[in-house]
Chains A and B, each alone.
Chain A
C-alpha cells in the first residue's frame, strides 16, 4: 500500500451557519496522505482539526470541495454507502472512548461485526482476538464503567480494529488520560501503523506527542492549513510552538 495515496482532499470546505454568522470550520484545505503514513493534525481548539477528521471519517459531508479516501469520493456516496465505508474502511477512536456503557467490552468490540452481519461464533473469536491484542482478554466480560480510562481506550482501539480497516482515525486519543497511560495507547497506535501497515490520522493539540510518534505534522488554524511538513527534529516553527491556546 505504501506509495499510493490513501486520503486526498481538494479545497475542502465545511461551513456552518450559526444564527447570522457563518462559521468556516474547514476552509479550503487540500492535502494528501500516502498509505501507511502516520499523520498528526495539530492546532488549537476551534482550528478545524476535528472537523477535518469527521469529514475523512464520513461522519460529516463537505460544504464544498472533495475528500477522496481510497478512490471513493465521500461527498458522492449515499448515506447507506457512507455507513458501509465507516464500517469497513476506517476505524475510529475518540477522546471520550465512546464505548456503550450497557455492554461488556466483548459486546462493544463485536458491535461493528453485528452491523457487518458476521455470524455469532466468528464474532466471538474475532472479539477475543482483538481484545487479546490490546491486552484486555481477561476483562472482556466487564462493563466499561469497571475499567480505567486507559483500559477503555484500549478496548476502543480493539473495536476500531475489528473489521480490519486500512485507516485509523484518532481524535485526541490521549486527551483524557495521564501521560503514562497515554504513552501505552500511543505505543499501541504506533504498532498498528508499523505492524499492520495502517494509515493513521491523529488529531491532537499536544505537539510533543505528535513529534514523538507521527511521521508528518499538519498544522491548522481557523480552518486553514498553515503548515505541512515531515516530522524531523530540526523542523520547528517557533510561531506555532505550543499552539494558540
Chain B
C-alpha cells in the first residue's frame, strides 16, 4: 500500500476508537512533554551559564604577553630560546595587529600598577588597573552602586568593596556579616581621591632626564616624574571583577584612555625603552574574542605572531563536559515517561487487533499481504507518535513558560534580576517529535507483527 493510503486508513482507524486512542496519545504527549521540559531546562541552564561566563569576560579573554617577559631578565635564558629573533615587543603596532585578527572584538593594553592613593589626606596603597569601555557589561559591575565611567577618559574611579572598607577604616571582623555595598558607597560616591604615581617621561624631556641621571639605560635617556591625579569616585563594586588574577588583582579601576594618557611607569618600561622609543610598550594585552569557541584559533594566531598567550579555555571544556552529563541524566529521566507511554501504545494496538480481528481477516481475504497489515499498524502507531509528539512539545514548552514566569516572579520578590533559564531550541522540537515517532514505531513492532501473522481463516470464522 502507498503511504498516503496507509496514512488515511490509519487516521480513520484511530478515529474509530477515538477515546482510547486519544488517551494513548495523551500518554505520549505527557512523556514527550517531560522529556522536552527536562532537556530545555538543561539547555536553558547551560545558556544561562555561558551567558554569565561571557559577561564575566573570563572565557573569551586571551592574555597576551611578550616572550621576552616569559624568559625573564636572564641573558642566559634568552640565548637558549628557540627563536629569539621572533620574539617581539608588545607595543601599539602589535596591539592593532592583534585587534585586526578574525574573531577578535577588541585588544586593549593591561595597564596595571601599584601606587599610593590619598583619601582625606590619608595614604592607602593599592593595585590599580584600567578598564575598557566594554567592561561596562561585565557582570561584576551588575550589583554596583553608583555608575560606570561617564567616558573613557574622564578622571573617575570605581572601587572594589574591600578597598572602600579600607578607605572608611572598616576592617571586617572574622565571622561578622559582610557589609552592605550600598552603605559603603553612600559616604564615598562623588568624593575625591588623589592618586600619586610615577610618570614615565619621554627622552625629549630634558629637564626630567637630567634631574634623574640614574635612570639612563643603554644610552637612552629615561626619566620618572612624580605626579598627582585627582579622581572622582563614581562607583563601588560588590563583586570582585578580577577574582581570577590572584595577588595582582586590582581594587581600584580607572577608565582605559585616562590610564593610557597618564603614562604611568610600567615594569616593562625599564627593559623596552631602548627599542620602543616613543611608542608605549605594554606588559600584557587582553584580547576579547567574539565567541568563546574561537579562543583556540585566536590563541594560535597570536602565538604565530611571536607572543605568549594564556586563556581559561580548559575550564570551559570542563563545564561543557558537566553539561553533557547533565543532559544525559535529564534525558534519561525525561525518557522514562515516554517509555511508560510506549507500553500504552503496545496495549492499545494489541486491543485493536483483538477488536479488529475480523477486519484484518477480511483485508487478508481480499488481497492484503502480511506487509500491508503490518504497515497499517505501524502507521497507526506512528500517527499516534507524531500527534503525541507535537502536542507534547507544545505542552513541554507551556510548562517551561509557566515555571520560568513563576521563578521570575519569585526572583523579583527577592529583588534579584530576572533570568531566562528555559530554552526550547528548534532542534529539540524536531528531535522530540522524531524521538516520539521512533519510540511509537518500536512499540508498534510487536502488535504489527502479531496482526500480520493472523490466520484469515480463523479470523473470518463465524462469530
Contact = CB atoms under 8 A, between A and B. Distances in A.
B5 A87 contact: no
Interface stretch (A112-120, A183-191, A215-223, A230-238): A112-120
A26 interface: no
A98 B367 contact: no
A83 B364 contact: yes
A115 B369 contact: yes
A95 B461 CA distance: 11
B365 interface: yes
B17 to A, nearest CB: 10
Contacts of B12: 102-103
Which of A84, A95, A100, A116 counts the most B-chain CB atoms under 10 A from its CB? A100
Contact of A83 (B361, B368, B460): B368
Contact of A59 (B16, B365, B369, B462): B365
A132 interface: no
Interface string B1-44: 11001000100110010000000000000000000000000000
A111 interface: yes
Interface in B364-384: 364-372
A94 B459 CA distance: 13
Contact of B358 (A95, A98, A115, A160): A98
Contact of A87 (B13, B359, B366): B366
A243 B173 CA distance: 115
Nearest to A116: B367
Contacts of B146: none
B367 A86 contact: yes
B457 interface: yes
Given A83-B368, A83-B369, A98-B460, A117 B363 contact: no
Contacts of A115: 1, 363, 366-369, 372
B371 A80 contact: yes
A181 interface: no
Chain B interface, DSSP helix/strand/loop, else mixed: helix
Interface residues of A, number: 29
A103 B362 CA distance: 13
Interface residues of B, number: 26
Contacts of B361: 98
Contacts of B367: 83-84, 86-88, 112, 115-116, 163
A75 to B, nearest CB: 15
A151 B285 CA distance: 93
Contact of A159 (B359, B366, B370, B456): B366
A103 B132 CA distance: 75
Nearest to B16: A102
Contacts of B369: 79-80, 83-84, 115
Contacts of B456: 59
Contact of A117 (B2, B359, B362): B2
A98 B365 CA distance: 10
A94 B365 CA distance: 10
A87 B13 CA distance: 22
Contacts of A163: 367
Contacts of A86: 364-367
Contacts of B363: 100, 111, 115
A114 B5 contact: yes
A45 B42 CA distance: 69
Contacts of A111: 363, 366
Interface string A76-110: 00011001101110001011101110110000000
Which of A57, A83, A117, A160 counts the most B-chain CB atoms under 10 A from its CB? A83
B21 to A, nearest CB: 13
A193 interface: no
A54 interface: yes
A143 to B, nearest CB: 12
A17 B364 CA distance: 24
B375 to A, nearest CB: 11
A60 interface: yes
Contacts of A159: 366
A92 B366 contact: yes
B457 A92 contact: no
Given A96-B462, A102-B12, A117-B2, A112 B366 contact: yes
B366 A54 contact: no
Nearest to A119: B2
A220 to B, nearest CB: 17
Interface in A31-81: 54, 57, 59-60, 79-80
A163 B367 CA distance: 10
Contacts of A114: 1-2, 5, 9
Which 4 interchain pairs have the tightest Cβ spacing? A87-B367, A83-B369, A86-B367, A98-B362
Interface of B: 1-2, 5, 9, 12-13, 16, 358-359, 361-372, 456-457, 460, 462-463
12 contacts: A59-B364, A59-B457, A59-B460, A80-B369, A80-B371, A83-B369, A94-B365, A98-B460, A102-B12, A115-B367, A115-B372, A116-B367
